[in-house]
Amino acid sequence: MASPVERDPRGQGPDAPWHLQGSRTPVFDEVTLTELSVKGEIPRDLNGRYFRNTANPQTGYTEHWFIGDGMIHGVELREGRANWYRNRWVRTPMFDHPGVDRLTLALDPEKFTFDHAVSAANTHIIGHGGRILALEEGSYPYELTPELDTVGPHTFGGVLTGPFTAHPKFCPDTGEMLAFGYAQLPPYLTYYRVSPTGEMVQKTDITVTGPTMMHDFAATRDHVVFMDLPAIFDMELAMQGGMPIRWSDDYPPRFGVMPREGADADVQWFDVAPSYCFHTLNAFDDGDQVVVHGMRVPEIWRDSSAMDMSTPAAPEDQPRLYEWRLDRATGSVKEQYLDDAPSEFPRINHARQGHAMRYGYALGVGDPSGASLGGAVFKYDMANGAAREVHAFPEGHEPGESVFVPREGATAEDDGYLMTYVWQPETDTSYMVILDAQNVAGEPLAEIHVPRRIVSGFHSSWIPDPR
């Protein structure tokens, strides 16, 4: 039997860092619960599992929100019933060595190489090619079973030899998965294309200015878009522990557009205003223009990589929906904000990935005055100037990223459901909510109540049962 993990007192009590308090407070056990209370009616065409990935340190403490051990929280739905809730840590070398510095585990100081099986596996969870993969951008994916047991690191038959993004894109036309990986040493950026059945069919090094942190990218039907922005890796910071990324005024901000099956020489670079974008909503081709929508902030981590969100930032410093139009014929760029309300974690109906779409969804993270945090799901109508419909949760309740799932037999882009987990502070428990995506402001279709805290985390997926 494994020895109990020693709890770090820095992660406990009112003086704990923001990312370890409230809905983000770690949980220390793994459970399977089958008696779940349901309010409303679960749609019978939802057959599968809803998973969220979270940073949940075994020791109860990490220096930064982004580096806790990955724990997956899942609910299985079938024929109008909630069969179970379960949570499981992803078994990685970091899980096996709780509290040990990542660089100590990953870096070979003699060869100066990194072991990319060393992972927190804490950012996203996806389904592709018959596999379920837990993702974290500094390492290999980790394969899981539908019951959340860890199979192990996945390297696409040994083709993958470096990091793999937590934000791949899935082409609804070809079934391909498009991805990339960024690294601290050359090659700084590598582009990947994976077949519908899970074989890696393209691996292309892309020239960028330096060791940029590229958290996300974008893809149209015919192009991919790389965001080469001024958040860069700093080895000196890495050796000190914590988040080794800093802002640089000397790093030229630019977007690169490449044909999906192209090469490094095919990338067309566009200078853009200094900014950072953690998450794109979508991208599409509009004649000679490539249009990218995402959540833009003017900069990140100039003085510190801390992410204490207990006090909202000024409205102009918060992420907001933004548009970049990159003209491949003239090389020009047009940029503009589309909304004044801060929002993050954008999602779409994935049938519209890479195509012009009408609707987008996001998590409200504050109001334009900067007076409050979270508590809302936004639906954007891009055909009407990104007009915003809002589902506001009860005061203090904290939703996460919402995922769109099409209704069986859907004929409209927004004919489906939005689902997310919501933390309920008065009971320190959580519930999974299912909203009607055509009536986001309305009452939930169903709430599935879980008698414990589902830790607020990062990204989620609905993985339907095989047909």
In order, the DSSP letters of 304-361 are ------SSPPPGGGS-EEEEEEEETTT--EEEEE--SS-EEEEE--GGGTTS--SEEE
Calculate mean pLDDT across residues 165-183: 97
3-state percent breakdown (helix, strand, coil) of the chain, nearest 5:
10, 40, 50
What whole-number distance in Å separates Cα of residue 154 and Cα of residue 144?
10
Task: Report pLDDT digits (tens) over 214-251.
Answer: 999 999 999 999 999 999 988 777 667 667 888 999 99
Give every CB contact of residue 269 below 8 A, 6+ residues apart in sequence.
Answer: 228, 254, 255, 256
pLDDT digits (tens, 9 = 90+) for 129-158: 999 999 999 999 999 999 999 999 999 999
Task: Kindly report the average pLDDT of the chain as a whole number.
Answer: 93
Distance, in Å, from the CA atom of 169 to the CA atom of 151, rounded to the nearest integer, reads 23
How far apart CA 192 and CA 205 sit, in angstroms, is 9
Task: Give the range among 122-136, 154-168, 283-297, 372-386 with minimum mean pLDDT.
Answer: 372-386
For the segment 29-67, what is each residue's pLDDT rounded down to a tens digit?
A: 999 999 999 999 999 999 999 999 999 999 999 988 888
C-alpha 94: how far from chain center: 20
pLDDT of residue 241: 66
Which residue is it, tokens 């809302």? 376
User: Are 207 and 264 contacting, i.e. CB atoms less than 8 angstroms apart?
Assistant: yes
- Helices and strands of the chain, counted as H and E runs: 3, 35
Q: How confident is the model at residue 368 (pLDDT cuts 50, 70, 90)?
A: very low
Is pLDDT of 84 > 80? yes
Measured between alpha carbons, how far is residue 345 from residues 123, 178, 348, 399 in Å? Answer: 12, 19, 10, 11
At residue 371, the pLDDT reads 39
pLDDT at 378 over 60: yes
pLDDT tens-digit profile of 288-331?
A: 999 999 999 999 988 766 665 556 667 778 899 999 999 999 99
- Contact yes or no for 221/231 (Cβ under 8 A): no
**pLDDT one-digit tens code per residue, 394-408:** 989 999 999 999 999
pLDDT value for 302: 82
405 within 8 A of 462, measured Cβ to Cβ: yes
What local confidence, expressed as pLDDT, does residue 436 receive? Answer: 98
> In Å, how far are 66, 235, 274, 434 from 244, measured between CA atoms?
11, 7, 20, 38
pLDDT surpassing 70 at residue 121: yes
Residue pLDDT, tens place only, 438-453: 999 999 999 999 999 9
Amino acid sitting at position 168: P
Which pLDDT band holds residue 111 (cuts at 50, 70, 90)? Answer: confident
Return the pLDDT at 412. 98
What pLDDT is attached to residue 370?
Answer: 41
Range name among 12-21, 192-201, 202-211, 417-426 with the lowest pLDDT average: 12-21
pTM for this predicted structure: 0.95
CA angle 348, 44, 403 (to 5 degrees): 20
